[in-house]
Structure 1
Amino acid sequence: MQNEEQISFGDVEAHYYVDLSKYYVYAHKNHFVHETIMEFNDFKSMLRKKADKPYYVPNQEELLKYSDPNYYEKPKQYHDLYKYSRKHFFAGDDEKAELLCENIMWKCRDDFNIQKVFDLFNIFEVNFKDEKQVNEVMQMVTELANNVRLWENNGHTPNEIFEKFEKPNLRPLPDEPFEFDAAEMKIGNKVGRNDPCPCGSGKKYKKCCLGKDERK
């Protein structure tokens, strides 16, 4: 609990329709549900994944940051990947490195798949110098994926769930080095205006990251 004085459900009900809708969250079957879950018909699936996992409760300082609809926690692993990408792929270009890493983080939060993450490197026209670098980046991405907060874990990271409750939830690194086709890894296909945005937001590209990409 963050406050000594507690509020009733009636107090919440009096405000949530207006206030939560600003953040694309709505009441559905005694739950507060983000519209992305409803649009993709994932409500029942999400409940099964959440099961009886305990809820993550941030401290008050962290909690208040979420009043900004664009805020999300960036763990140390995000900053490690950002610094590496900025140095090795974008020659110090902060904006491109940040945009790539933000998109990767969205992929880590939404049905993580390492190949889909590397598709983003294609879109950003990243050239890997060799397989050793590919595997080095893959390890950083996997570590990031294990340290992002997930709806299906009730706000906990996979690492936190692993440490406290369920070892199988940790995403393991592959036993074998990641094999890749150098030609395919070099340049990706151009995203169409009406295609799903590669950042994983669920929105069309033209209504999401298109403006950011055009400013690069």
Structure 2
Amino acid sequence: MKHPDIEDFIDAIVTVIREQNIEDAVKMEPVHSLTDILALRKITHLRKIARIFQVKYYSKKDRKTLTGDLVASMRQPELLAEVLDILPDQEWIFFLKAVHESGITVEYLSPEDYIAQQNIGLIQSFFHQDQLHLVVPDEIKAAFKVLEQNDYSEDRNYKMLMSNLCIAAINLYGVISQYDFLDLFNRYSKRQATLDELFNNLIVRVQQDVGFCFWDDYIVHDSFEDDDFELVNDLINDRAGKPKYEPAFDELLQYVDWNYYEQTPQIRALDNFFSKYMDNQAQRLMLMDEIHDLAASEARLQEYFDLIDSVGVEFKGEAEPMKLANLLVDVQNNTRLWRNHGHTPNELYRKETGLKNAGAEIIQFPANRTATKIGRNDPCPCGSGKKYKNCCGKS
């Protein structure tokens, strides 16, 4: 069965992508020489590429001299390796495909596959005869062939695994000692690392602002810089003696995405609650993301209700605020926290008490969870301090 609305939506996306491809491409028959490709760039763009490939005095050189020096630098395997090291994974995968082809011809292609490497001269797109053509310059191919003979891809995969595992660990724990991370990395990597190798590889990623940094003997989320790392010791002391949550490898890698969080039954129940008030699924997803962030920061219940009020939710019935409060408590008790070494409050409670089926009783708000009737003059259960009739009961 066809769905016209969905098909129209997909067609619209493809049209936008194709238009972007055409805008970013040179309108001519493809060329393959690096000199010829660089000749298509403005001198201001050449200078940006020259800075990346460490060409000296690039700002003072004329176009011809700059192009010659730039070609000489880009042909050096060692410099090419440094540039390839910082390519996003998605672009690296496409580069591996393109570098072994005379050219790739498609009707359209996601800019996320190639635009960063086009900006630094590793690839060039052409629009010719109503097709998109993507070419890796011959000189880049030759330099990469030398790298491949020295197992560059294996070395890059080693570095990227280290970087990705570090992002995942910081996303999940907030802070991890260099020694603990070394143990974590060596657990999953065939090629074992030393502490010096770990530091030398990760400091490059720190300079690229990937989201973590070094502090003392620790690797920490870069948000700790805002308070001059004063809160790092507070976190370490707060979770002293608590067991560390150690997910399976595949689950851990989910946390490479800084925006990832588990779609728990509690989150799904909350989303179902809001489906009565918000038809737009994308808007509900954004609300769930913000609620999760509040839960991860252990926000007060009032902060949740302020957020919900800001999106225009008007409760249908007097029992709804209480029902929502209980759902929010359940979400917060099942959210992974840095303070709990990655465990949720419920998981930690079960570990400490030995109970297998602990309910969401770690954080209790409101205290009387069985209440179903709220008087118009009673305090609002959202915690605002106002009377119910002047707050969530207005509608």
Q: TM-score range by the shorter chain?
A: 0.7 to 0.9
Q: How does 1:131-150 map to 2 (within 5 A)?
A: 131-150=318-337
Between 1:56-65 and 1:42-51, the stretch displaced more is 42-51
2:252 aligns with 63
Q: How does 1:1-216 map to 2 (within 5 A)?
A: 2-3=187-188, 5=190, 6-20=192-206, 22-40=209-227, 41-86=230-275, 88-90=276-278, 92-165=279-352, 170-176=362-368, 177=371, 179-180=379-380, 181-185=388-392
Deviations 1:111-157 (A, max 9, x none): 33111111111111111123311111111111010111111111111
TM-score for the superposition, normalised by structure 2:
0.43
Matched residues in 1 for 2:282 and 2:341: separation?
A: 31
Whether contact under 8 Å (1:127, 1:185) holds in the other structure is yes
Between 1:170-179 and 1:111-120, the stretch displaced more is 170-179
Whether contact under 8 Å (1:122, 1:186) holds in the other structure is no
Residues 66 and 175 (structure 1), Cα distance of their counterparts in 2 relative to 1, 3 Å cut: closer
Residues 165 and 73 (structure 1), Cα distance of their counterparts in 2 relative to 1, 3 Å cut: same
Whether contact under 8 Å (2:298, 2:332) holds in the other structure is no
Deviation at 1:47, TM superposition (A): 1.9
Matched residues in 1 for 2:198 and 2:363: separation?
A: 37
Deviations 1:64-97 (A, max 9, x none): 22222332223221111112212x111x210111
2:32 aligns with none
Matched residues in 2 for 1:8 and 1:183: separation?
A: 62
Whether contact under 8 Å (2:271, 2:288) holds in the other structure is yes
Deviations 1:32-88 (A, max 9, x none): 1112233144223212222121211111111122222332223221111112212x1
1:210 aligns with none
Structure 1 residue identity aligned to 2:202: Y
SS in 2 for 1:131: coil
Residues 25 and 174 (structure 1), Cα distance of their counterparts in 2 relative to 1, 3 Å cut: same
Between 1:108-117 and 1:178-187, the stretch displaced more is 178-187
Residues 30 and 182 (structure 1), Cα distance of their counterparts in 2 relative to 1, 3 Å cut: farther
Residues 182 and 26 (structure 1), Cα distance of their counterparts in 2 relative to 1, 3 Å cut: farther
Between 1:42-51 and 1:126-135, the stretch displaced more is 42-51
Between 1:139-148 and 1:40-49, the stretch displaced more is 40-49
Percentage of pairs with the same residue: 24
Structure 2 residue identity aligned to 1:141: L
SS in 2 for 1:165: helix
Whether contact under 8 Å (1:26, 1:33) holds in the other structure is yes
Matched residues in 2 for 1:50 and 1:23: separation?
A: 25
What is the aligned residue count? 184
Matched residues in 2 for 1:97 and 1:49: separation?
A: 33
Supply the RMSD in Å over aligned alpha carbons.
2.5
Between 1:109-118 and 1:170-179, the stretch displaced more is 170-179
1:198 aligns with none
Whether contact under 8 Å (2:318, 2:393) holds in the other structure is no
Whether contact under 8 Å (1:126, 1:186) holds in the other structure is no
Deviation at 1:4, TM superposition (A): 6.7
